[in-house]
Amino acid sequence: MIYSRVKQQKLLKILIEERAMVKLLKTIGDKEYHTRELLKKLGAYGYGHKLLIKAERIGLVERRTNKNKMYNTLTKKGKEVIKLAKQIGV
Look at the domain 2-88 and name its fold.
Arc Repressor Mutant, subunit A (1.10.10)
Q: How many CB atoms lie within 10 A of CB 76?
A: 9
Eight-class DSSP state of 86: H
Asked whether the whole model's pTM tops 0.95, one would answer no
List all residues 6 or more positions away from 26 whose beta carbon is below 8 Å from its beta carbon. 82, 85
Q: How many CA atoms lie within 13 A of 89 on its CB side?
A: 0
- What pLDDT, in 10s, does the model give residues 23-68? 889 999 889 999 999 999 988 888 889 999 999 998 899 999 988 8
Let me know: does 61 contact 72? Beta carbons within 8 Å: yes
